[in-house]
Amino acid sequence: LFYIYRNLIPENEMRRIFGSRVIQAEQRRNRNRQRIHQKTSRLAQPKDTWAPYSKTGLSMNLLENRRGYQYFEYEHNSAYREVQFLFLDAVESLNPQSIVDLLHLHPYHIGGLIQLSEIFRMSEDMAAAAELIEKALFAFECAFHPLFSLTSGNCRLDYRKPENRGFFLCLFKHLLNVGQKGCYRTALELSKLLLSLEADEDPLCVLLCIDFYALRSEQYEFLIRLYEEWEAHRNLSQLPNFGFSIPLAKFHLATTDELLDKADNLLQESLLMYPGFLMPMVEKCGITPDPTVTGHHFFQYSAQTSQTDSLKQLTTLYVQRTYSCWKEPEVMEWLEKNVRTVLTLVDNKDSRVVRCKQLRLRRYQGTPRNILRHIILSEIKDVTAHLPPELANTPMLSYDPLPPTDSFETYQRPGRPTQAQEASNPLSLFLRSLLPNFNANEDAGAVGGDETRNNLQNGVGALMTAMRDLLNNIRPVEPPVENQHNGQEDDHEENEGDWD
């Protein structure tokens, strides 16, 4: 894993895509705004409307040095813990305005920023949702330990600790946001950074999307190198996305017939192993395949009956995410050629056909928790529709989806059970929480029908208006210069080295 710091900044990639004039025009529009001195940041560009950062009680400690790696952890001091308890009370109050009020007093509270970002996203205000995540990343970076480096490659965080979890989640949401803007190289570099924090466990399964960003940014050599170096200890070939993205990368790099043959062989192996990939992919690309393909049992009935639900989740995720990489005419022509070869192998009863079917049915018997987290956070509708039914009864919190089963708490919150907590299922709890004046102790049946729908729409609309005002109209007084540098939240040097 190797990345260059300047590639972490989406504005740099946007300059390359659209030209510097677009960025300069935006800067000119902001020139007359009141300037607030902010700390420099590598992960997010502070806005003039943001409150000046001061110590919030969030800090980072160095735990140990082991086997060439430095292990860190985020920590909440007593003041931050009190705010955290208020935040949890606000969540359980089922009134989003309580979270807005909390952020007005504590503008850099991580959980509150993540929670409101999710509400903005549900209202399809993606710009405001992305800004709240950037603000949370800014707060995390301001709390970095002096020895924590984004570019050294040897800094680790444990996802099992709740205080660390928000950093993982914000990085993941941020890379999705910049990727949706077309800044694929930036998303790739952020993926490398996120993967490096806990590469062995990969709690958000970044390996399911890093290949997509590598393909879209044409970083084919990196993708192939990652596969070759990690296959031995991570079995990347068992992930359908690597099974298809690696031959595609080799196809783009093929300059001789020999190299093209290698790409062909890899693609044929993947089609034999994952036949459920083909028809959804060509359908998503708007291509009508040859009748000899659509009429063959291998890519139709056999592909579905030999595919477990877990494998279907992975193939559907790959198709929905990467179809733009496959719809190019030369790629489709290459795919069609290899599909015909595979059908010949099937008709000739090649031994690999039976072997691959047995492997499919044996390997993919359940979906690991990190893959479920990835699917939930990626929010690709066709994939979330195939989530296990038991998740419907699992509480899903935006600021901490599917916490690890071996999570360890460093401090406990005094319990405050309410009737609503005991009586509500997780889905209705979340939907009712969007109502503007909901009483936590009111029975669920007291709210319903057309009035509920109207209240929900009005409540969300009022919340969006209030939060936009909070984001756009804050003009805090510039703090004294002497308060800008304090302890481990000091600015970091701009020129740290690259890492691999």
In this model, does residue 15 exceed pLDDT 70?
no
Report the percent of the chain where pLDDT is more than 70.
Answer: 75
> If you average pLDDT over each of 142-146, 294-298, 306-310, which comes out highest?
142-146
Cα separation, 274 vs 131, in Å, equals 39
Q: Tell me the three state secondary structure of residue 460.
A: helix
Residue 91 Cα to chain centre, angstroms: 22
For residue 59, give the H/E element and its range. Answer: strand 58-66
Mean pLDDT for the chain?
Answer: 83
What does the pLDDT read at residue 197? 96
The model's pTM is 0.81
What does the pLDDT read at residue 490? 43
Domain membership flag for residue 381:
no
For residue 156, give the H/E element and its range. Answer: strand 155-157
Regarding beta strands 58-66 and 155-157, do their DSSP bridges make them parallel or antiparallel, or are they unpaired? unpaired
- Terminal-residue alpha carbon distance, the chain: 5
Domain membership flag for residue 463:
yes
DSSP, residue by residue, 61-82: EEEEEETTEEEEEEEE-HHHHH
- pLDDT range class, residue 481, cuts 50, 70, 90: very low
What does the pLDDT read at residue 496? 41
- At 24, list the tokens: 């300069």
Sign of CA dihedral 196, 197, 199, 203: negative
Q: Which residues contact 453 (CB under 8 A, 6 or more apart)?
A: none
- pLDDT range class, residue 8, cuts 50, 70, 90: low
Per the model's pLDDT, the better-predicted residue between 119 and 385 turns out to be: 119
Domain count, the chain: 1
- pLDDT range class, residue 456, cuts 50, 70, 90: very low
Dump pLDDT digits (tens) for 92-148.
887 889 999 999 999 999 999 999 999 899 889 999 999 999 999 999 999 999 999
What does the pLDDT read at residue 115? 95
Cα separation, 265 vs 17, in Å, equals 35
Cα separation, 303 vs 292, in Å, equals 15
Q: Which residue has the tokens 């919190």?
A: 397
Domain membership flag for residue 299:
no
Is there a contact between 43 and 8 (Cβ–Cβ < 8 Å)?
A: yes
Domain membership flag for residue 260:
no
Is there a contact between 267 and 331 (Cβ–Cβ < 8 Å)?
A: no
Angle at CA of residue 59, ends 58 and 60, nearest 5°: 140
Its domain, for residue 173, covers 1-205+414-492
What does the pLDDT read at residue 59? 97
- pLDDT range class, residue 400, cuts 50, 70, 90: very high
Domain membership flag for residue 424:
yes
Q: Give me the mean pLDDT over the 474-478 stretch.
A: 43
**Separation in Å, CA 292 to CA 289, 296, 336:** 8, 6, 11
**Separation in Å, CA 42 to CA 49, 137, 149, 171, 312:** 18, 9, 11, 12, 38
Residue 252 Cα to chain centre, angstroms: 27
Domain membership flag for residue 241:
no
Q: Which residues contact 454 (CB under 8 A, 6 or more apart)?
A: none
Domain membership flag for residue 390:
no
Q: Give me the mean pLDDT over the 342-360 stretch.
A: 95
In this model, does residue 470 exceed pLDDT 60?
no
In this model, does residue 51 exceed pLDDT 60?
yes
- At 327, list the tokens: 């719809």
Q: Which residue has the tokens 């990467």?
A: 322
DSSP, residue by residue, 347-389: HTT-HHHHHHHHHHHHH-SS--HHHHHHHHHHT-HHHHTTS-G
- pLDDT range class, residue 304, cuts 50, 70, 90: confident
What does the pLDDT read at residue 482? 41
What does the pLDDT read at residue 25? 57
Q: Give me the mean pLDDT over the 290-316 stretch.
A: 89
In this model, does residue 33 exceed pLDDT 60?
no
Q: Tell me the three state secondary structure of residue 60.
A: strand
Domain membership flag for residue 237:
no
> What's the half-sphere exposure (Cβ side, CA atoms, 13 Å) at 377?
30
